[in-house]
Chains A and B, each alone.
Chain A
């Protein structure tokens, strides 16, 4: 639905060049919620602004719904008629809501419809429908200043949906909101994604956001996408920083003669209660050092760090059993597995810290 290839954005100011985007290839499938996560200054904002060409990419192409927007943009700095028409089919939600304080909630939602040239009657009918959809039917005549942050963002979302877009861009839509409100806004986005088949591209610095709503995610660092894929794919990738940050597990062995094993649950295999099966089959005591699990559509997704009594050599059979169940098993202290995992926790910790800000 959204494809960028070789997207580059270089800012020039006073002779200095800053590369915000350095060859970004992004592919967002139709109907999915795609999260781009990264720290401040990683280029996320530039990326999402390049998707509807609020920022002109220095090079590369952006295709949304089969339409090459970079070709529509032309050479001049101003947006031509075709690009503006294309933009009206892409909704956008902003961190600071960007509602007009001089207009009522209803009039704010009618604004994109005015631009599209709808009649007054149609506009107000549609605006009221949208307000109903976002759960603010009683606030039509209220001014934005009288709303809470979460309500403002709901209005922002309703406004973004007014042009019946197939694609919704969300620029840190929940970053100015408290955790509870964040959750309710994310739920709303999730519902809209399911009900309307809306494709959502969101950027965020909060891991929680990706974890809550995203089907796929990408990690951005210094203008590049360093990891991307569906949440399952990321989990299946050994040493994935995103997987480590999404499902952080920690905990050290409690004694010298113990084996610490990281078990990753993903895909179809993760339907069995494997830990208790393991315990019963081999008659061993298992302690769980840490776990980050979610249940998505009846399947367990996530990671767990468990401790088995005895050294690795004594646990080859139980570990083999886990692998047989189709689980990904990494043994801590097992040299080949630990090397890529080594720098992952550092970045993951940085991301989690960033997310907590």
Chain B
């Protein structure tokens, strides 16, 4: 295969992937963000505590997440036809991609939002704010760096999922690699798609990290806050000396296991 033969194929595949991943990410964020926040709010001790709702959403999310994506495509065929009127091509792939990514993103949102210091929620309540105010002014803005990282992760996962979208004729880079690279032994083309995927994923990851870190730096890092909270018990008198700890790399601070801070009366 010559480059002139490969070029239009690659171009089309790139656009297909971009199209599918772009739309399904958008839908996943729109659907997963409220779902993730709801998981936190309805949990025990949450602002809208409702064990039944929490359990139901939690179960649905778990089931959807444990489903292999290729099965999800097939299982959702009737639903896909009802939504977009067809079960083949790019549009048809967006439906299972989005449905698969919503619970994934929701769990990431849940983790991010849970990390927000409860004291901030209390502060807004003491000002007379309602639950909606808490969500809008505290939970979302304070967890924004983590949320952006979550979006990045979701995009990367969706690019991986989109390789299977070829089964419904949706095209894309992954599909190209399988059909030409694997089935037609066009090894060269396969390596080119792999390289393109690697570059695309690197760029997305870098952009996401850059944005998240920028927000961290601006706000001093909500990721560093839990770290500071761990020190609370003994740091009361040395609060001033504990301050420089905040300049630690937010990524490592994020990776720290969350421990329940001991609440001082």
CB within 8 Å of B: which residues of A? 40-46, 52, 54, 77-79, 84-88, 90-92, 94-96, 98, 100-103, 111-112, 114-116, 143-146, 148-149, 159, 163, 169, 172, 175-178, 181, 357
Closest to B117 in A: A98
B243 at the A interface (CB under 8 A): yes
Contact check, B126 vs A87: say whether CB atoms are below 8 A apart. Answer: yes
Contact check, B130 vs A79: say whether CB atoms are below 8 A apart. Answer: yes
B34 at the A interface (CB under 8 A): no
Contact check, A178 vs B130: say whether CB atoms are below 8 A apart. Answer: no
Residues of A contacting B264 in the complex (Cβ-Cβ under 8 angstroms): 40, 45, 95, 172, 175
Can you show 15 pairs from A to B with CB atoms below 8 A apart? A44-B265, A77-B49, A78-B131, A87-B126, A96-B232, A101-B219, A112-B128, A115-B124, A143-B218, A148-B243, A149-B240, A163-B128, A169-B126, A175-B264, A181-B240
CA distance A98 to B129 in the complex (A): 15
B142 at the A interface (CB under 8 A): yes
Closest to A49 in B: B122
B215 at the A interface (CB under 8 A): yes
Contact check, B141 vs A100: say whether CB atoms are below 8 A apart. Answer: yes
Which of A41, A100, A169 is the one whose CB lies under 8 Å from B265?
A41
CB distance from A167 to the nearest CB of B (A): 11
CB distance from A108 to the nearest CB of B (A): 9
B133 at the A interface (CB under 8 A): yes
B252 at the A interface (CB under 8 A): no
Additional pairs, 6, CB under 8 Å, beyond known A87-B126, A111-B127: A84-B129, A100-B142, A101-B142, A112-B128, A115-B128, A115-B133
Residues of B contacting A148 in the complex (Cβ-Cβ under 8 angstroms): 240, 243
Residues of A contacting B138 in the complex (Cβ-Cβ under 8 angstroms): 100
CA distance A181 to B240 in the complex (A): 10
Contact check, B130 vs A87: say whether CB atoms are below 8 A apart. Answer: no
Residues of A contacting B236 in the complex (Cβ-Cβ under 8 angstroms): 175-176, 357
Residues of A contacting B49 in the complex (Cβ-Cβ under 8 angstroms): 77
Contact check, B237 vs A178: say whether CB atoms are below 8 A apart. Answer: yes
Closest to B228 in A: A96
Closest to B136 in A: A114
B55 at the A interface (CB under 8 A): no
Q: Enumerate B90-141 residues with CB–CB distance to A below 8 Å.
A: 117, 119-120, 122-131, 133, 137-138, 141
CA distance A219 to B243 in the complex (A): 33
6 closest A-B pairs by beta carbon, nearest first, are A145-B220, A88-B128, A101-B219, A98-B123, A112-B127, A92-B126
CA distance A143 to B144 in the complex (A): 16
Residues of B contacting A88 in the complex (Cβ-Cβ under 8 angstroms): 127-128
Residues of A contacting B225 in the complex (Cβ-Cβ under 8 angstroms): 101
B239 at the A interface (CB under 8 A): yes
B174 at the A interface (CB under 8 A): no
Residues of B contacting A44 in the complex (Cβ-Cβ under 8 angstroms): 265
Contact check, A102 vs B141: say whether CB atoms are below 8 A apart. Answer: yes
CA distance A86 to B126 in the complex (A): 10
Residues of B contacting A146 in the complex (Cβ-Cβ under 8 angstroms): 220
Taken residue by residue from 197 to 240, chain B's Cβ proximity to chain A (1 for < 8 Å, 0 otherwise) reads as 00000000000000000010011111001000000100111011
Residues of B contacting A84 in the complex (Cβ-Cβ under 8 angstroms): 128-130
CA distance A54 to B237 in the complex (A): 27
Contact check, A101 vs B221: say whether CB atoms are below 8 A apart. Answer: yes
Contact check, B124 vs A111: say whether CB atoms are below 8 A apart. Answer: yes
Residues of A contacting B65 in the complex (Cβ-Cβ under 8 angstroms): none
Contact check, A145 vs B219: say whether CB atoms are below 8 A apart. Answer: yes
Given contact pairs A77-B49, A94-B122, A145-B246, A101 touches B220 in the complex (Cβ within 8 A): yes
Contact check, A163 vs B240: say whether CB atoms are below 8 A apart. Answer: no
Residues of A contacting B137 in the complex (Cβ-Cβ under 8 angstroms): 100, 111, 114
Contact check, B240 vs A102: say whether CB atoms are below 8 A apart. Answer: no
CA distance A258 to B254 in the complex (A): 67
Closest to A52 in B: B126
**Residue picked from A43, A45, A96, A101, most chain B C-beta under 10 Å:** A101
CA distance A143 to B125 in the complex (A): 22
Closest to B232 in A: A96
CB distance from B253 to the nearest CB of A (A): 13
Residues of B contacting A40 in the complex (Cβ-Cβ under 8 angstroms): 264-265
Given contact pairs A143-B219, A145-B219, A103 touches B127 in the complex (Cβ within 8 A): no
CA distance A95 to B220 in the complex (A): 19
Residues of A contacting B128 in the complex (Cβ-Cβ under 8 angstroms): 84-88, 112, 115-116, 163
Residues of B contacting A112 in the complex (Cβ-Cβ under 8 angstroms): 127-128
**Residue picked from A40, A54, A145, most chain B C-beta under 10 Å:** A145
